[in-house]
């Protein structure tokens, strides 16, 4: 049976998600402006690097999170 989330906790989570999204959009806006100044072939390399880095970081964080749940 799934645990119920209180409205207050849900509201805090929603606020945190909104803040994270706002931060993400600001970072991406700044980085995106710089990336777009590069030649297309360099843009492709940078975007591939960003994709790899983000996916690797998320995998590590998920591994840590899952390990913490088991203990």
Domain boundaries, the chain: 37-71
> For position 54, what pLDDT does the model report?
96
* pLDDT greater than 60 at residue 4: no
DSSP assignment string, the chain: -PPPPPHHHHHHHHHHHHHHHHHHHHHHHHHHHHHTTS-HHHHHHHHHHHHHHHHHHHHHHHHHHHHHHH-
pLDDT confidence bin for 13, thresholds 50/70/90: confident
Overall pTM surpassing 0.85 (yes/no): no
Instruction: Residue count of the chain, please give it.
Output: 71
**CA 28/CA 12 separation, integer angstroms:** 24
pLDDT confidence bin for 3, thresholds 50/70/90: low
């Amino acid at each position: 049976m799934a645990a119920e989330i209180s409205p207050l906790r849900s509201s805090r989570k929603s606020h945190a998600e909104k803040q994270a999204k706002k931060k993400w959009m600001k970072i991406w806006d700044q980085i995106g402006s710089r990336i777009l100044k590069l030649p297309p072939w360099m843009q492709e390399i940078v975007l591939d690097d960003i994709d790899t880095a983000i996916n690797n970081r998320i995998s590590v964080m998920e591994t840590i999170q899952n390990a913490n749940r088991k203990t």
